[in-house]
Amino acid sequence: MQPNVNTGILLLALAGTTPANECHALHSRHQDVAAPTLSVEHATLGSGSAWETGVVTIDAPMDGPTVMVIGGVHGDEPAGAMAASQIAGWRIDKGRLIVVPRANTRALNIGKRRTPGLKKGLSDLNRQFPIDDEPRTDHADAIWTLVESIKPDLLIDLHEGFDVHRLNNKSVGSSVITDNTPDGRLLGQKLVDVINETIADETKHFVLLGPPVAGSLARAAHERLGIRTMILETTTKNQACAYRTRQHRIMMRRLLDELDMLAHGADVMIGTDGDDGDIAVAMYVSAGVSGSGPDRLESILNDAAGFDLRRVCSTDIRNGVLGQFDVVIFPGGSGSGQARSLQAEGCEAVRNFIASGGGYMGICAGAYLASSGYDWSLDIVDALVIDRAHWERGKGEVQLQWNTQGRQALGHDRLGQTIHYANGPLYAPAEDDSIPDYDVWAVYETEINTNNAPEGIMQGTPAVVFGNYGKGKVIAVGPHPEQTGDDDSLVRKFVRHIAGTPNDGDQEP
């Protein structure tokens, strides 16, 4: 235990439990997965402590195995935490599924492997579980006590390595690490086989390893409690977090299917959170996306503000996940890069989503992607990008001028506004009769014209436009509203508008 902690005090607190007699349906607007009656409970582990975190327990109406899933033990391994959060919304047909999505909130919040504020020998949470004695910190003790009290049939810990094990044996990335039982090895190989079917490059294939390292939760739970355990390790190097998250889901789906607990596929990302009244937002974060925009958007569009946001990759989109969402966001980076990653199938999936009533928000690169005229354009906004030769015109703060239509649509009181700009598109009408004309909501009042960009081109061109596409709504924003620190409400207003939700949830600063 940590110094100055009374080891006689039980620090496990499953407080604030709010049971739901019948779980929410999968997102009602889009999902058609059969939904048996479930019991879902949300509780808090370590209530009031610096490391308190949520626990989700899903009980199916039919008896079956108990499976426990842990994510986010290491703070620099976000895909495990994201996958666990999504798995916590899955519907099981039998048994019990217990999920601790963000086991190490303090480390996850800063994106570091180790828990801040602890001595180096105690800061790696996955080395604090029993070897010959008791857990070495109060945090590990609380998780251990939870595992002891539940004693699941199977415990799965979701992790990430820094490199692919096949290419670098100093890393356990892209592996399934099992206990040393024949049944555990057989099940682990099935997970390896199913994920490798999705990976074209054989050098990046997963391998079967084991047993888990001493001091880890998986090792301790197997050796001390006789629980079958497994660690699933994706690889952070050169792979988008949303893609790695999907890999975790694919392996977990195979595992639960093997146990005859799950009927739906691996691409359920909203699940039991889908009818809680929040706006379901898919944010594309894969090839062609760069910068801090996604992190800022994730902090702005949070649960407290009424949003369920999930990061999605191009493979997710090609596999039809947008049907679970109200809105898709394409952030900054490279519009052409995003289009190449989506491929023709993914671009068509985005268009079909909007045409059927979904909302699209494109920021900078996402606004390029939404335009017409490029051979890779989505063609969902009747806009050409002008002065293409000087697209890299510069970065900095610009002044926007909002018109009456934009202010009324958003409930936005400002006439002018300073906003960050970073080489966003300059729009002009494409005059394509197959696409509805767009409405200008705001124009650039000032300009940036470095890198030999001519003066006078940017001023007066649209900065924010709104358009309809089929039954859906599109907002294309040339600058970066998520980087405008004095008004986070602007992003939320954009999303609410294209989701068809009244814009009365934010007050102007």
Q: Is residue 28 part of a domain?
A: no
Strand 279-284 versus strand 307-312 pairing type: parallel
Within this chain, do residues 108 and 185 fall inside the same structural domain, yes or no?
A: yes
Question: Among 258, 292, 327, which residue terminates a domain?
Answer: 258
- The string of pLDDT tens digits covering residues 333-344 is 999 999 999 999
7 found inside a domain: no
Average pLDDT over residues 298-321: 94
Residue 87 has pLDDT above 90, yes or no: yes
Mean per-residue pLDDT over the chain, rounded: 90
**Portion of the chain with pLDDT greater than 90, in percent:** 84
**Residue that terminates a domain, selected from 258, 285, 318:** 258
Is 226 in the same domain as 352?
no
8 A C-beta contact, residue 95 and residue 102: no
CA distances from 429 to 263, 341, 376, 437 (A): 48, 27, 18, 8
3: pLDDT strictly greater than 80: no
Q: How many domains does the chain have?
A: 2
User: Quick one: pLDDT at residue 413?
Assistant: 86
**By the 8 A CB rule, do 170 and 37 touch?**
no
Count Cα atoms within 13 angstroms, Cβ side, for 236.
15
Considering the domain architecture, whether residues 169 and 242 belong to the same structural domain is answered as: yes
Q: Which stretch of 20-24, 77-81, 105-109, 139-143 has the lowest confidence by average pLDDT?
A: 20-24
Closest CA to 402 of 456, 464, 459: 464
> What does the pLDDT read at residue 122?
94
Q: Are residues 292 and 143 in the same domain?
A: no
Over residues 156-174, the mean pLDDT reads: 97
Within a domain: 32: no
Q: Looking at residue 88, what is its pLDDT?
A: 94
- One domain, residues 297 and 384: yes
Average pLDDT over residues 471-490: 90
Same domain, 253 and 334: no
Report pLDDT for 28. 37
Asked if residue 456 and residue 342 are part of one domain, the reply reads: yes
Q: Are residues 138 and 235 in the same domain?
A: yes
Residue 197 falls inside a structural domain: yes
pLDDT over threshold 90, residue 147: yes
State yes or no: pLDDT of 4 exceeds 90. Answer: no
Look up the CATH number of the domain holding residue 52: 3.40.630.10
Residue 271 placed within a domain: no
Q: What is the CATH number of the domain that holds 316?
A: 3.40.50.880
- What pTM was estimated for this model as a whole? 0.86
Of 312 and 38, more confident: 312
Alpha-carbon distance 301 to 481, whole Å?
13
pLDDT digits (tens, 9 = 90+) for 269-297: 987 665 677 999 999 999 999 999 999 99
Burial class of residue 139 (count of CB atoms within 10 Å of its CB; 0-12, 13-18, 19+): buried
What's the whole-number mean pLDDT along residues 432-453?
A: 94
Considering the domain architecture, whether residues 254 and 281 belong to the same structural domain is answered as no
CA distance linking residue 335 with residue 479, whole number of Å? 14
- Minimum mean pLDDT among 14-18, 287-291, 371-375: which range? 14-18
Lookup: tokens for 18: 């709010």
Torsion of CA 351, 26, 488, 410, to 10 degrees: 60
- Regarding whether 365 and 402 lie in a shared domain, the answer is yes
Q: Give the confidence band of 263 by pLDDT, cuts at 50, 70, 90.
A: confident
Average pLDDT over every residue of 381-395: 94
Q: Are residues 237 and 298 in the same domain?
A: no
Tokens read off for 150: 């539940």
Last residue of a domain, one of 258, 293, 325: 258
Among the residue ranges 21-30, 95-104, 155-164, the one predicted with the least confidence is 21-30
Domain limits at 69? 39-258
45 domain-assigned:
yes
Alpha-carbon distance of 313 to 341, in angstroms, equals 9
Q: Is 248 in the same domain as 283? A: no
CA distance 90 to 56: 11
What is 1-55 written as a DSSP string? --TT--TTS-----BS---BSSPPPS-TTT--------EEEEEEETTTSTT-EEE
Contacts of residue 340, defined as CB under 8 A and 6 or more positions apart, other chains included, come to: 287, 288, 376
CA 277 to CA 25: how far, in whole Å? 12
Q: Is there a contact between 459 and 345 (Cβ–Cβ < 8 Å)?
A: no
Of residues 29 and 118, which shows the higher confidence score?
Answer: 118
Is residue 211 included in any domain, yes or no?
A: yes
Per-residue confidence (pLDDT) for residue 248, from 0 to 100: 98
Whether residue 182 is preceded by a cis peptide bond, meaning omega within 30 degrees of 0, is no
Q: Give the residue, 31 or 303, on which the prediction is more confident.
A: 303
Residue 146 lies in a domain: yes
**pLDDT value at 377 more than 80:** yes
Q: Residue 166 has what pLDDT?
A: 97
Which pLDDT does position 107 carry in this prediction?
96
